[in-house]
């Protein structure tokens, strides 16, 4: 895609939450019966989850903006390898779900997924009684359950998906499960979202206030009818685009009463002197002259590329910390953002856990987002401030926000396929 200097204006609806859709699909799959997911996000990652779950006998029908999930009887033995695309959530959740069955399952994925760690999750499932092996700590994974229960421990600073995966499986163990977090749990809001979705399916997992210990009795997931709220993670890139290259845009479908970590973007914009207003279900942003900031993103790491974009056009020096885990996402996001900004003439300096950005005037370049959806969206937003930025492999946004390019155009962005 070629992105040219533009001025955004208008209104649109936020895409549905990917994280909540993923959790709803997995909770519904653990129900012996039928559930309805209303307004789910249909994207590469959620379709990967539905396809993976189908190998266990779970049927997902996408129809009229809803997803109908059904399963009759026990989870089935997979007839072949379970492929998870490039979705880390799918891989980790599937590993735990397969560990609740008495069958052998082999779980794999695309090239970047094979570089994402899974060792600590495999070890925790072994502690709970499953046989779980990885390829030197990475996918493919072989797992055979069922888990029995007992105690397991995982680090809190690698991936909150480990914790969510264990919590999804824990109620299906024969005896109670205790999960302990080693060190500080990062990305806590994502674990809270998992607990929230489990409650909607009649499962209650108890947690200490600091989310370092979890307790689950043996329970049964019950059929549910759930509505998916708008996605703050994807919307962040629209809010950034308008702030740096817009007039005024209203984004609807965003509840203020949310557990999503990336609602934090509102606080970021306000701290940078951004012009933002909200009501109960929408956010309105206007073009703003921004001030630099220092911010820690350990609880909302997906915002890192969007925040980098803001800092790149700010008059001054900004520092983003808490970024260590971003090196093991779909790409090394720290390196991808730092190198891309340097290509555009923006000065950056990185350490293991921080990135410093000196704002400037970004210039026209060709950007390779390394097949990472959030990198592509970040540089697309920044491209609106340049004569021309070309994003290669632009279709990678389909991982989380398939309508991204269409939505940008609807607001007046000069974006052309190349």
Measured distance CA(324)–CA(334) in Å, rounded: 8
Measured distance CA(34)–CA(68) in Å, rounded: 7
Catalytic (active site) residue 302: yes
Measured distance CA(324)–CA(207) in Å, rounded: 26
Straight-line distance from the first to the last Cα atom of the chain, in angstroms, rounded to the nearest whole number: 5
Q: Yes or no: say if 247 and 411 are a contact pair by the CB < 8 Å rule.
A: no
> Angle 18-29/44-54 helices, nearest 10 degrees?
10
- Choosing from 44, 302, 368, 372, the catalytic residue is 302
Measured distance CA(393)–CA(413) in Å, rounded: 19
Residues in contact with 187: Cβ distance below 8 Å, sequence separation at least 6, in sequence order: 159, 160, 261, 298, 299, 300, 301
Residues in contact with 304: Cβ distance below 8 Å, sequence separation at least 6, in sequence order: 297, 320, 323, 326, 333, 334, 337, 374
Residues in contact with 151: Cβ distance below 8 Å, sequence separation at least 6, in sequence order: 127, 177, 178, 179, 180
Q: Yes or no: say if 303 and 264 are a contact pair by the CB < 8 Å rule.
A: yes
Return the active site residues.
302
């Amino acid at each position: 895609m070629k992105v040219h200097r533009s001025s955004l204006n208008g209104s649109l609806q936020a895409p549905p939450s990917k994280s909540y859709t993923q959790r709803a699909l997995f909770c519904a799959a653990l129900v012996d019966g039928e559930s309805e997911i209303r307004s789910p996000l249909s994207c590469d990652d959620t379709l990967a989850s539905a396809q993976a779950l189908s190998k266990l006998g779970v049927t997902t029908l996408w129809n009229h903006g809803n997803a109908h999930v059904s399963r009759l009887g026990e989870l089935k033995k997979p007839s072949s390898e379970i492929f998870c695309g490039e979705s880390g959530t799918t891989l980790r959740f599937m590993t735990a779900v397969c560990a609740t069955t008495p069958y052998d399952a082999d779980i794999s994925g695309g090239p970047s997924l094979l570089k994402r760690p899974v060792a600590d999750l495999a070890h925790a499932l072994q502690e709970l009684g499953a046989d779980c092996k990885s390829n030197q700590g990475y996918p493919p994974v072989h797992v055979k359950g069922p888990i029995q229960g007992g105690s397991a421990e995982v680090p809190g600073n690698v991936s909150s998906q480990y914790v969510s995966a264990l919590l999804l499986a824990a109620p299906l163990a024969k005896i109670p499960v205790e999960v302990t977090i080693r060190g500080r749990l990062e990305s806590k809001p994502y674990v809270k979202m998992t607990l929230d979705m489990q409650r909607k399916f009649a499962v209650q997992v108890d947690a200490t206030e600091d989310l370092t210990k979890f307790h689950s009795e043996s329970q049964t997931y019950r059929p549910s009818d759930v509505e998916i709220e708008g996605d703050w993670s994807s919307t962040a890139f629209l809010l950034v685009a308008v702030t740096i290259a817009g007039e005024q845009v209203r984004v609807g479908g965003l509840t203020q009463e949310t557990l999503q970590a990336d609602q934090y973007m509102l606080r970021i914009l306000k701290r940078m002197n951004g012009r933002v207003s909200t009501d109960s279900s929408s956010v309105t942003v206007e073009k703003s002259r921004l001030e630099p900031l220092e911010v820690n993103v350990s609880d909302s790491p997906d915002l890192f590329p969007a925040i980098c974009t803001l800092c790149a056009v700010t008059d001054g020096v900004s520092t983003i910390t808490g970024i260590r885990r971003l090196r093991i996402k779909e790409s090394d996001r720290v390196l991808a953002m730092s190198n891309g900004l340097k290509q555009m003439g923006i000065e950056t300096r990185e350490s293991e856990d921080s990135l410093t950005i000196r704002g400037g005037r970004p210039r026209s370049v060709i950007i390779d987002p390394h097949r990472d959806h959030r990198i592509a969206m970040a540089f697309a937003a920044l491209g609106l401030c340049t004569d021309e930025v070309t994003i290669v492999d632009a279709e990678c946004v389909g991982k989380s926000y398939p309508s991204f390019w269409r939505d940008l155009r609807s607001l007046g962005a000069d974006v052309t396929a190349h």
